[in-house]
Structure 1
Amino acid sequence: METIRFGTDGWRATLEEFTTPRVRMVGQAVATYLRDEGLEGTLVVGYDARETSRGFAEELTRVLCANGFDVLIPERDRPTPLVAHAIVERDLGGGLAVTASHNPPEYNGVKFIPADGAPALPDVTDAIADRLAEPDPLPADDHGSVREVDLTTPHADAALELVAAITGGVDLDGRTIAYDAMHGSGRGTTDALLERAGADVECLRCDRDPTFGGGAPEPAPGNLEDLVDRVTGDGEATLGIANDGDADRIAIVTPERGYLDENLFFAALYDYLLEDDTGGAVRTVSTTFLIDRVAGAHGEDVHEVPVGFKWVAGAMADHDALVGGEESGGFTVRGHVREKDGVLVALLAAAMDAAEPLDDRVDRLLEAHGTVVQNKTSVPCPDHEKARVIDDLEAEIPDSVAGTTVEGVNTADGFKLALEDGSWVLVRPSGTEPVLRVYAEATDAERVGELLAAGEALLEPLV
């Protein structure tokens, strides 16, 4: 169906379009795809904290079972990375997660996760989209079974083992961490993992609210004011952690900086990992060049990919990368499932901060490699117009942006204009919302504002 489009991270839509009959068609398409490819095995269906997610997950489960597949389902909403981990840990045939991630409560979504636990690439999602059809059940005797399972304990065990191997041991005894679940699926998962490691956890918004308090479960600075106050104020918390709605992304709050820019956290994470290990990094085109400077200081390589963690995951496998990430707060590390995991990285961030305050590490990195500031904005654009606008933009690429010469153009994902002063501006279509994104990076916020304005001005006559 034309209304079902698999974007950067699955199919998301408002509940006007994301309906039970269409969800059932996706379930049938996945079953048909797996059968056609000769892929067998038990599947898992997870879901987030939205009002409709459990019901949609049950519909998917019914369709898959009617097509002969055994299906596992968690006892309650759980983070998407736990679904990906279960696929690999239990050697399953794949799985589905019903989630709209950080989108507002009037949205829902579904993503297919293949047997390797990494996000599905376009050849897979295209093949699924080509098979959209009404459910076609097998005879009742051939139906599969459904069973509720614990996805949390195996993931927590694996996270503790991996972080202990990286850090030499995980001991958060005596440390107080403020955790904001934003009413999402991280509640009772991320905080429980931190407590298992010995931390005292102060919970914010760790109750289930399918409306997410009336907003979007997006861990952006404007949505985390209480968490920032808890860490930068007179309280006992020395670190703040937040997850988005399905806990595949993370935000960090520190005593000195408050909200820690995700790019700076990525650089700090990579720098920390390189203390006792080797390997390159994978970053998206919208992620800071600071990663490249950290890599260069250690003689390592950086691999730039389009936006979307599926590309990060693929490049991590191709290059045996030590870490992969994106500026929106999605990260994973070598030795773990190749899917962004805000639960695992929460534990890793806490262990890093226990070894050395994150503020101190970031200070050292900026002193060594220079200040970096990044921001982004959005320009409304209907989905059906995005390709046309990007095509038209090719003929409008200027020789200079905001008074600085364009030194190079990267077309891996939209247009990224590298300027001779080391700054850059990127224009690309969002894969999850009806907007075009404009990103910019420079040495100070004023310059970033100028670059963003220039990027918007490029788009105005085309949209």
Structure 2
Amino acid sequence: MRDVARINFGTGGWRAIIGDEFIRSNVRLLCGALAQRIKSEGAQDPGIVIGYDRRFLSDVAAHWAAEVFAGEGIRTQVIKVAQAPTPMIMWTVKDQGLPYGMAITASHNPALYNGIKVFTAGGKDADEEITHDVERRMTQLEGAGEDEIGHIDYAKALAAGKITEINPFNGYIDSIIDQVDMQAIKDANLKIALDPMFGVSKTSLQTILMTARADVEVIHDRHDTLFGGRMPSPTSATLESLKRYVVDNKCDLGIATDGDADRIGVIDDKGNFLHPNQLLVILYYYLLKYKGWKGAVVRNVATTSLLDDVAKRFGEESYEVPVGFKWISGKMLETDAIIGGESSGGLTVRGHISGKDGIYAAALLVEMIAVVGKPMSQIYEEITGQFDPHYMAETDFSFPPERKPEILNTLMVEKKLPEFTEKVVDVSYRDGAKVYFEDGWIIARFSGTEPLLRIFCELPTQERAEAACAEMRAFLGL
């Protein structure tokens, strides 16, 4: 009997290497467990909606999943469009009032991965209570064998009306257009460069921006399951082509999205990469000052505390939560916050879906340039110039699998830490080991989506931030 413990949900769903753990039997096992939960709640109708990205096997795996839910007597809808962003799937869950949704995607992971994200009512990421329950049910199903999990051939289920194929594209696009100042964008005559990173954002973003009469030019939009040999993650290192394109073609902004379009990366008019931390600060400031919104901000433990300073300036609160967007969306609902996000590039704004949406975030950034009437580079400098400097150092370390228990024991059980040069004022073990300094912080935590240890540090100078990271790295022997 296989060890089902391999099928565990991380901070962004379940992800695994194709052909190793991402195989039909495991997809069916996970869906069978979720189907049991749905039936235990009496939620067979309205049921579930399933969408998928452009990764290898995503379309096939979506059929595997739909076959299980249909075979278990659950109303099953499949989003049948060439490019289905994850936020479109989440929006469909919210728009139709469905109890569950599912995306076949490994988001920004390397091309050899695929995975599954599960969503709940309102378009939220499934919380730990739900994912732990599904894992428990998988354990119970494990010994029964794949044939014991109900399933029906996709074509037969489609013909019998047990599976319905839908296209929510227009509704999703209209929901964003309704929340963005399209007239301001029309009046600004902007030129935008878009890099979908061979993912699924092109049609949606191009439609929104061209409806606002922006000039949109696209690179890296063909269907390539290897993502051009790059990680489909919008970072400074992966967006060199977009940087050059923006400068060479005198674009006002460059926008990139990750593989399933729930994360965003931005290149300003001078060809500089704007870190997601910077984008969050800019957008929060814009919503407060220019749009006149009121409300808190929610960030995770590895995201800039400059957001705290912005909140304080406007008499608002800033809330810190663990990594994983389910924590951000949950705290936003609890506090009626107006924006929430993470340093990895995901954010959401009050009034839209509760999950990450790189497409809506991109449209809002274009609106901001139009409304403020200044280049992105100038907007950022003017905003951050009002606050004390915050510099971030980020490092990822791979390690032999046998070292993980040792590192985990050192940090989280024995709670040992380096003798930092910076003065330590507090330590939190809520999510990894986070050390608070007098004027900054450092955190070491294991990634929930990749086999990595991540060390982030924020201090008033880049040199001090990098030095603190080096002290943590040396202490852990990385």
TM bucket (normalised to shorter chain) is over 0.9
Structure 1 window deviating more from structure 2 (179-188 vs 250-259): it is: 250-259
The answer for the alignment partner of 2:274 in structure 1 is 260
The 5 Å alignment of 1:443-458 reads 443-458=460-475
The letter of the residue matching 1:120 is: A
Does the aligned pair in 2 maintain the 1:50–1:105 contact within 8 Å? yes
The answer for the alignment partner of 2:131 in structure 1 is 125
Does the aligned pair in 2 maintain the 1:281–1:302 contact within 8 Å? yes
Does the aligned pair in 1 maintain the 2:16–2:22 contact within 8 Å? yes
Once residues 120 and 184 of structure 1 are traced to their aligned partners in structure 2, the CA distance between those partners, rounded to angstroms, is 23
The answer for the alignment partner of 1:322 in structure 2 is 338
Q: Deviations over 1:365-402 (max 9, x none)?
A: 2211122221311222467864653342243544741x
1:81 is paired with a residue whose SS is helix
The 5 Å alignment of 1:47-62 reads 47-62=52-67
* Structure 2 residue 434 is the aligned partner of structure 1 residue 429: no
The answer for the alignment partner of 1:174 in structure 2 is 189
* Structure 2 residue 142 is the aligned partner of structure 1 residue 137: no
The answer for the alignment partner of 1:410 in structure 2 is 428
Once residues 375 and 228 of structure 1 are traced to their aligned partners in structure 2, the CA distance between those partners, rounded to angstroms, is 21
The answer for the alignment partner of 1:352 in structure 2 is 368
Once residues 220 and 319 of structure 1 are traced to their aligned partners in structure 2, the CA distance between those partners, rounded to angstroms, is 30
* Structure 2 residue 42 is the aligned partner of structure 1 residue 24: no
* Structure 2 residue 396 is the aligned partner of structure 1 residue 378: yes
Does the aligned pair in 1 maintain the 2:184–2:370 contact within 8 Å? no
The letter of the residue matching 1:435 is: L
Does the aligned pair in 2 maintain the 1:172–1:199 contact within 8 Å? no
Cα 1:368/1:206, change in 2 over 3 Å:
same
2:34 is paired with a residue whose SS is helix
Q: Gaps (5+ residues) in structure 2? A: none
The letter of the residue matching 1:332 is: T
The answer for the alignment partner of 1:242 in structure 2 is 256
Residue 379 of structure 2, aligned match among 361, 367, 378: 361
The letter of the residue matching 1:348 is: L
Once residues 380 and 233 of structure 2 are traced to their aligned partners in structure 1, the CA distance between those partners, rounded to angstroms, is 24
Cα 1:450/1:139, change in 2 over 3 Å:
closer
Does the aligned pair in 2 maintain the 1:105–1:210 contact within 8 Å? yes
Does the aligned pair in 2 maintain the 1:54–1:77 contact within 8 Å? no
Does the aligned pair in 2 maintain the 1:12–1:100 contact within 8 Å? yes
Once residues 172 and 110 of structure 1 are traced to their aligned partners in structure 2, the CA distance between those partners, rounded to angstroms, is 41
Which TM-score applies when normalising by structure 1? 0.94
Residue 149 of structure 1, aligned match among 166, 181, 200: 166
* Structure 2 residue 129 is the aligned partner of structure 1 residue 112: no
2:179 is paired with a residue whose SS is helix
Structure 1 window deviating more from structure 2 (350-359 vs 373-382): it is: 373-382
Once residues 432 and 371 of structure 2 are traced to their aligned partners in structure 1, the CA distance between those partners, rounded to angstroms, is 40
How far the C-alpha of 1:145 sits from its partner, in A, is 1.6
Once residues 34 and 285 of structure 1 are traced to their aligned partners in structure 2, the CA distance between those partners, rounded to angstroms, is 33
Residue 284 of structure 1, aligned match among 279, 286, 300: 300
Does the aligned pair in 2 maintain the 1:285–1:306 contact within 8 Å? yes
Q: Deviations over 1:143-181 (max 9, x none)?
A: 8622221122111100111223xx885536521100000
* Structure 2 residue 458 is the aligned partner of structure 1 residue 441: yes
How far the C-alpha of 1:353 sits from its partner, in A, is 1.3
Q: Deviations over 1:14-55 (max 9, x none)?
A: 111110111111111110111112333131111111121000
The letter of the residue matching 2:77 is: L
2:5 is paired with a residue whose SS is coil
The count of corresponding residues between Structure 1 and Structure 2 is 456
The letter of the residue matching 2:197 is: M
How far the C-alpha of 1:457 sits from its partner, in A, is 1.8
The answer for the alignment partner of 1:8 in structure 2 is 11
Does the aligned pair in 2 maintain the 1:268–1:358 contact within 8 Å? no
* Structure 2 residue 323 is the aligned partner of structure 1 residue 307: yes
1:271 is paired with a residue whose SS is helix
The answer for the alignment partner of 1:78 in structure 2 is 84
Does the aligned pair in 2 maintain the 1:8–1:431 contact within 8 Å? yes
Does the aligned pair in 2 maintain the 1:66–1:144 contact within 8 Å? no
Does the aligned pair in 2 maintain the 1:250–1:346 contact within 8 Å? yes
Once residues 339 and 320 of structure 2 are traced to their aligned partners in structure 1, the CA distance between those partners, rounded to angstroms, is 12
How far the C-alpha of 1:290 sits from its partner, in A, is 0.4
The answer for the alignment partner of 2:200 in structure 1 is 185
* Structure 2 residue 236 is the aligned partner of structure 1 residue 221: yes
How far the C-alpha of 1:187 sits from its partner, in A, is 2.1
Cα 1:172/1:329, change in 2 over 3 Å:
farther
Q: Deviations over 1:167-222 (max 9, x none)?
A: 88553652110000000011212222221222110101111111101221011111
Q: Deviations over 1:217-251 (max 9, x none)?
A: 011111111111122x2423110100000000001
* Structure 2 residue 94 is the aligned partner of structure 1 residue 88: yes
Structure 1 window deviating more from structure 2 (257-266 vs 391-400): it is: 391-400
Q: Deviations over 1:63-103 (max 9, x none)?
A: 11111122222222411010000001112231110000011
Which TM-score applies when normalising by structure 2? 0.91
1:303 is paired with a residue whose SS is strand
Once residues 384 and 331 of structure 1 are traced to their aligned partners in structure 2, the CA distance between those partners, rounded to angstroms, is 34
2:266 is paired with a residue whose SS is strand
Q: Deviations over 1:399-422 (max 9, x none)?
A: 741x111111122211111112x1
Does the aligned pair in 1 maintain the 2:232–2:258 contact within 8 Å? yes
Does the aligned pair in 2 maintain the 1:68–1:138 contact within 8 Å? no
Cα 1:383/1:187, change in 2 over 3 Å:
farther
Once residues 155 and 299 of structure 1 are traced to their aligned partners in structure 2, the CA distance between those partners, rounded to angstroms, is 34
Structure 1 window deviating more from structure 2 (438-447 vs 103-112): it is: 438-447
Once residues 121 and 448 of structure 1 are traced to their aligned partners in structure 2, the CA distance between those partners, rounded to angstroms, is 33
Once residues 362 and 261 of structure 2 are traced to their aligned partners in structure 1, the CA distance between those partners, rounded to angstroms, is 10
1:73 is paired with a residue whose SS is strand
* Structure 2 residue 355 is the aligned partner of structure 1 residue 339: yes
CA RMSD between the two structures? 2.1
